[in-house]
Amino acid sequence: MSKKDNVKKIKSYIDDVLGTKSSLRDKLPSKKSREKELFCEVLRNLQFVNGRTLGMKHDYKINMMDYDDPFYVALENLFQLNYTQEQRNLINWWLYDKFLPTGEILILTDKAEGDVIPSDTPEDIWDLIQEQKKKS
């Protein structure tokens, strides 16, 4: 039975119990899930733009850094409004240092336990920031 069939079946049960026609809709995303979605999209776009800028400089000897700089400053200022210095350091590390030009990828490790801390995706960075917010 497909999800659509299950939804129809549940709807008919609700209609029978209530004795009237009803309608079901998807759950609206929470504010927190929307924030996470936007945060991850911003990080992915910044990573793409940074890679494109570095690629233009390397491949075509065109330096777009001066052109892009005001955009980065504006975004850094927006991050400053919402995140602590420690959180911004983590974001900047992920954007500019984690993925090396050689193709190597740096990892985060817990100093006390020695465990690898997931940090490969914007979602991982979001989760780390949320954990840090809970601690402070």
Identify the pLDDT of residue 1.
65
Instruction: Return the amino acid letter for 46.
Output: L
Start-to-end CA span in the chain (Å)? 47
Nearest to 87 by CA among 35, 136, 32: 136
Identify the pLDDT of residue 104.
95
Burial 102-111 (b: 16+ CB within 10 A, else e): eeeeeebeee
Nearest to 39 by CA among 85, 99, 90, 73: 90
Identify the pLDDT of residue 18.
83
Q: Judge whether 43 and 95 are in contact, CB under 8 Å.
A: yes
Identify the pLDDT of residue 93.
97
DSSP code at position 99 = B
Walk along the chain (136 residues) and give the pLDDT tens digit of each residue.
687 788 788 888 888 888 888 787 777 778 889 999 999 999 999 999 999 998 999 899 999 988 999 999 999 999 999 999 999 999 999 999 999 989 999 999 999 999 999 999 999 999 999 999 998 7
